[in-house]
Amino acid sequence: MTQDSEAASGFSRHTAVAQSEAGSGETSGGTETRLSGHMGTFDIVFTVLAFNAPMSVFVGFITVIIGYGNGVGTPVTYLACGALVALFAVGFAAMSRRLPNPGAFYAYITAGLGRPLGLGAAFVALVSYLFILIGGYAFGGISWQALVHDVFGGPDLPWYFYTALVMAVVAVLGYFRVQLSARILTVCMCCEVLLMVAYDTAVFFQGGGAQGVNVESFLPSNIVSGSVGLAVLYGVVCFSGFEATAIFREEARDPGRTIPRATYLAVGLLAILYAVTSWVMILGIGVDDVVEKSAADPTGAALATALQYLGKVGQDVIIVLLCTSIFAANLATHNVATRYKYSLSVDRILPKFLSVVHKTEISPHRASMATTVISFVSLVACILFKGNGATLYAVLVGIGGYSLIMLLLLTSASVVAYFRRNRDHDVNIWKSLVAPVVACAGLVVAFVLATQNVALMIGGDQDMANFLVGLFVGLLLLGVVVALVLRSKHPDIYRRIGRQDL
């Protein structure tokens, strides 16, 4: 059996962290402290929702797809993208039951396509989440600055002051056990979802907008109008982050059941929420005017329709929830990036001190602190080079979304490869072949569209787009090279890649 075949068939759940030489992770009896927890299905679902920041989608993304994508056909775009992601989730959930490992993309790509590509995918995923986190911090700083100064009439402080405050709060929460973050995220997400439902209900109760309730959004001619490619690209990005269901495997209660349930529930909720709300927003603004108004001022169009149907108080609440939504997304992304560092440290790709688990909080506290340090250094660099927060957000989050589509595609291919090589009579052909192949085909289209439109996603700078695409391709290749060097020089570490069972 080759080493890569062994990696595909030899996974077992990693619960022990090799910390015997790291004092703060040991109990008084010298035994290892293990990463564990009791996150339920809804704890994980709300973490995924937080990563997606539904209120940010409401204020900014929906109108962008309407204005620059396929116009009034946007609700169908969300349903189609939800169906594509759900097909992906079929194989993803099947892998989660067979590979009890918290590495998610990293672990699954290793199992299906081998350790070199698996390690390359891990590098891509880690940098992607760090980019999304840093960009999200910048967006959060701008939003909190506007809330304090414009809405409440407070002092006009620089955006990075608020970013630093948010970083500090996230750093504290990231240090403690994940259940604390899950409770906070649950409260934030419930408020966001309830307000979006309130908006939808208000539009219907007020007659369905200027032209009344209609089904123009579901007519074939409107579904394929405008730029379908851009609509699909942005639509898929709106579902990003659901791999967090597998990342928190070790901290989940009954992960064999919790992870698949959370995955399907998260995808289903997002698809329904975004499809219904985008349809209602089109009705609220008016079918005849919505495309023009959304293209002219996406955020302004969303806030204007909120003012019309929820009143000034409702609009102000949306602005407040936008800030808490971004904070929740920062916290969720911080936790995801932290656990990627933790997994790579357990596998000895990153320094092993990052795999130490706090003996009382049962959290990867050192990996969390490392994530905070990287975020803070990035903020300082932005200040020194007089970076613009809005530009930073557009570039980093845009390219982060692009790279996540790359990872979805590689994972779909790995599902097919894994189950072809490791036949499992408990996994039917729908889960092991049909759904992953269809998802893979759809993701190829999404990835090609993403590659063609990276410049648009990051604000229109083609040179920057080329550089960033090259960066992520380079990270993938770097992982392959590092793995091959480890296979030659350090076979013991090479065997650990993606396994976490040693």
**Tokens 């990867």 correspond to what residue?**
364
Per-residue pLDDT tens digits for 234-280: 888 888 777 777 777 777 777 778 888 888 898 999 999 999 999 99
Note whether 69 and 227 are within 8 A (CB). Answer: yes
* Residues 51, 431, 257: CA angle, nearest 5 degrees: 55
Q: pLDDT grade, residue 425 (50/70/90)?
A: low
User: What is the H or E stretch that residue 302 is in?
Assistant: helix 298-346
Q: Can you tell me the distance from the alpha carbon of 139 to that of 393, in angstroms, rounded to the nearest whole number?
A: 6
Q: Greater confidence, 168 or 40? A: 168
pLDDT score at 484: 96
* Residues 70, 450, 326: CA angle, nearest 5 degrees: 80
Q: Is the pLDDT of residue 501 over 60?
A: no
Q: Can you tell me the distance from the alpha carbon of 500 to that of 390, in angstroms, rounded to the nearest whole number?
A: 39
Note whether 238 and 78 are within 8 A (CB). Answer: yes
Cβ contacts of residue 74 below 8 Å, gap of 6+?
62, 65, 66, 217, 231, 278, 279, 282
Please tell me what DSSP assigns to residue 217: G
> CA separation (Å) from 373 to 5, 183, 255, 314, 361?
37, 25, 31, 37, 20
Q: Can you tell me the distance from the alpha carbon of 342 to that of 424, in angstroms, rounded to the nearest whole number?
A: 30
pLDDT winner (highest mean) among 162-176, 237-251, 423-437? 162-176
Q: Can you tell me the distance from the alpha carbon of 133 to that of 392, in angstroms, rounded to the nearest whole number?
A: 11
Q: Can you tell me the distance from the alpha carbon of 163 to that of 123, in angstroms, rounded to the nearest whole number?
A: 26
> CA separation (Å) from 369 to 54, 151, 176, 179, 376?
27, 33, 11, 18, 10
Nearest to 235 by CA among 65, 406, 393: 65
Q: Can you tell me the distance from the alpha carbon of 242 to that of 476, in angstroms, rounded to the nearest whole number?
A: 21
Q: pLDDT grade, residue 203 (50/70/90)?
A: very high
Residue range 152-172: mean pLDDT, rounded: 91
Q: How far apart are the first and last CA of the chain?
A: 18
Cβ contacts of residue 4 below 8 Å, gap of 6+?
114, 115
Per-residue pLDDT tens digits for 433-476: 999 999 999 999 888 888 888 887 777 678 888 898 899 999 99
Question: To the nearest whole number, what is the mean pLDDT of the chain?
Answer: 84
Q: In which region does residue 7 sit, left (phi positive, over 0), alpha (psi from -120 to 50) or beta (all else)?
A: alpha
Q: Is the pLDDT of residue 72 over 70?
A: yes
Q: Can you tell me the distance from the alpha carbon of 352 to that of 122, in angstroms, rounded to the nearest whole number?
A: 16
Nearest-10 Cα torsion for 188, 191, 196, 201: 170
Q: Is the pLDDT of residue 93 over 90?
A: no
Q: Is the pLDDT of residue 499 over 90?
A: no
Q: Can you tell me the distance from the alpha carbon of 411 to that of 394, in angstroms, rounded to the nearest whole number?
A: 26
Please tell me what DSSP assigns to residue 39: B
State CA 197 to chain mean position distance: 23
Backbone angles phi, psi at 17, to 5 degrees: -105, 130
- Percent of the chain whose predicted confidence (pLDDT) is above 90: 37
From the number of C-beta atoms within 10 Å of its C-beta (0-12, 13-18, 19+), residue 47 rates as buried
Q: Can you tell me the distance from the alpha carbon of 41 to that of 260, in angstroms, rounded to the nearest whole number?
A: 9
Per-residue pLDDT tens digits for 284-296: 999 999 999 998 8
Residue range 25-48: mean pLDDT, rounded: 62
Residue range 391-417: mean pLDDT, rounded: 87
